[in-house]
Amino acid sequence: MTKQTLLLFFSLLVIVGCKNENRKDGAEASASTLTPSEAQSIAKDAYIFAYPMIMGYQAMYFTMVDESSPGYRGDFNSFTHDTSPADYTRTDVVTMNADTPYSLTAMDLRAEPMVISVPEIKDRYYVIQFIDLFTHNFAFIGTRATGTEAGDYLFVGPNWKGDIPEGKFKKVFKSESELVTTIGRTQLLGKSDLPNVIAVQKKLKATPLSTFLGKDTPEKAPKLDWIKLNPVDLTNENFIDYYNFLLALVTPFNDEDKAQLKEFEKIGIAPGKKFDASEYSPEVLAAIKAGVQEGTAEIKAKAGNIAEQINGWNMMDAFGSRSFYKGDHVLRAAAAMVGIYANDKIEAFYPMGYVDKNGEVLNGENKYQIHFKKDEIPPAKYFWSITLYNKKADGVGGYLVQNELDRYLINSTSEGLIYDKDGGFTVYIQNEKPRVDKVANWLPAPKEPFYLCLRIYGPKESAMDGTWKPPYIEKVIQ
């Protein structure tokens, strides 16, 4: 090698070394040059973006991962079913319905697609809802969406490249995330109807594509390294660890999210990365914590005023697909706070009652009543219900309330519901058991703040366009 060649070689080494050093400096620069003000602003936006995702992590962890959890259901890719409606012991998600026993699974689409098969269901309403890790409702199977016929439906993950056989499936759905929450709801027509619901549930199937086609099973995806859940860490700077775990399961990123996620990298947010608080100065770390608190406050403020209010009811229209949200991450987060995994409005409309006719927060220290005139009865193609919840989850959302009747709702199939001579009826909401002629219409309340969810499954046009209005919740003067 000539002297000239050696000099060129060493020059190249120096240049490459400088480039590597610059690359290292660039990687550390975001942490070292980040101002507290910038960190707080980024953390606030990141937490709002992440909130529904980490709440989904919590729900999935308790139901599909942690076998010691009271809410544990079983492994991924197979249905499990409730053999009774939800009651006060169910605290895996907020604002859970007690009308329709749930059929649940979480699909892992990393190795191959999954096939969801349903039987013919003509004697009752049902819906199966599919939610990605962003909490977007991206697919529905059921009475409204796909009809009453039997059918097979294919669900494909974001990175699957295989061929889809023609003519095998009624519909093919593509998920933005590798994990998908799947919630089936089957209408219960009174307590004696439970065996019929169970018979329907047993016919729901989740099958890997290879098994469905009778082909060789592909290699299993690596086992996910779930982070042991500490719910407190979902409300502080450690949310970043959970968020990063989830981001690795939603790549490639949607174009709508790329710029914002790039900005989030400045506070350690990146797919699969471990959050290291020691990378940040005490001032910046304190700012990240403050940003999380600021984001939480903004989500709560939106949750408390999430929709147009009519007669004291929030006329909820806060759940849907990515295209529904149009980049409104505050709305998406607030929707998760008040009722994560709720259906689109066209499937089920959820007016929420937090205040009485005078604008005062509902509290079981008082007595209330709701009188539905005949033309005010919720306009549902399938059925309606009114369910009561406490606020024990976070001061906004909560759970069904234990009571002496084990009654959590009144709905259109409630046995013994008393109607007045004009075809309307009154619901009595109070802690103390009312006199005997009102018990059939009594919705028991706790002696503490609570809220109501009015569900309308298959809302008719008058509910969709705002023509129908629910009556006020009126405090009874004692």
308-475 is classed CATH 3.40.50.2000: no
- pLDDT 10s digits, 424-466: 999 999 999 999 999 999 999 999 999 999 999 999 999 999 9
Residue 74: exposed, middle, or buried by beta-carbon count in 10 A (0-12, 13-18, 19+)? Answer: middle
Predicted confidence (pLDDT) at residue 20 exceeds the cutoff of 60? no
Amino acid found at 1? M
Q: How far apart, in Å, are the Cα atoms of 125 and each of 91, 176, 188?
A: 25, 28, 9
- pLDDT 10s digits, 63-76: 999 999 988 999 99
Q: Could you tell me which residue, 248 or 12, shows the higher pLDDT?
A: 248
Q: How many C-beta neighbours within 10 Å does residue 346 have?
A: 14
Task: Give the DSSP per-residue string, 169-192.
Answer: -SEEEE-SSSEEEEEEEE---SGG
Predicted confidence (pLDDT) at residue 79 exceeds the cutoff of 90? yes
As a whole number, mean pLDDT of residues 75-82 equals: 95
Pick the closest to residue 431 from 452, 403, 406, 408 (CA basis). Answer: 403
The Cα–Cα gap between 128 and 182 comes to: 7
Q: What percent of the chain has pLDDT over 70?
A: 93
Residue pair 369/474 in contact (Cβ under 8 Å)? The answer is yes
190: confidence class by pLDDT, cuts 50, 70, 90: confident
Predicted confidence (pLDDT) at residue 302 exceeds the cutoff of 90? yes
- Backbone φ and ψ for 11, nearest 5 degrees, come out as -65, -40
Pick the closest to residue 36 from 283, 344, 230, 317 (CA basis). Answer: 283
Predicted confidence (pLDDT) at residue 17 exceeds the cutoff of 60? no
Average pLDDT for the chain: 92
**Per the structure block, which two tokens stand in for 305?**
């005023």
As a whole number, mean pLDDT of residues 104-126 equals: 97
User: Which pLDDT does position 59 carry in this prediction?
Assistant: 94
Predicted confidence (pLDDT) at residue 24 exceeds the cutoff of 70? no
Pick the closest to residue 411 from 129, 169, 89, 125 (CA basis). Answer: 125
311: confidence class by pLDDT, cuts 50, 70, 90: very high
Domain residue ranges in the chain = 33-66+229-304, 70-213, 308-475
The Cα–Cα gap between 139 and 182 comes to: 10
Pick the closest to residue 47 from 290, 341, 399 (CA basis). Answer: 290
Per-residue DSSP letter, 359: S
User: Which pLDDT does position 394 carry in this prediction?
Assistant: 87
- pLDDT 10s digits, 353-374: 999 999 999 999 999 999 999 9
**Per the structure block, which two tokens stand in for 289?**
């914590």
- pLDDT 10s digits, 118-168: 999 999 999 999 999 999 999 999 999 999 999 999 999 999 999 999 999
**Per the structure block, which two tokens stand in for 292?**
């999380």
Residue pair 261/282 in contact (Cβ under 8 Å)? The answer is no
- pLDDT 10s digits, 213-225: 999 999 999 999 9
User: Which pLDDT does position 365 carry in this prediction?
Assistant: 97
Give the fold, CATH level 3, of 33-66+229-304: VPA0735-like fold (1.10.3360)
Q: Under CATH, which number does the domain 70-213 receive?
A: 2.60.40.1610
User: Which pLDDT does position 33 carry in this prediction?
Assistant: 84
- pLDDT 10s digits, 36-70: 999 999 999 999 999 999 999 999 999 999 999 98
Amino acid found at 234? L
Predicted confidence (pLDDT) at residue 398 exceeds the cutoff of 70? yes
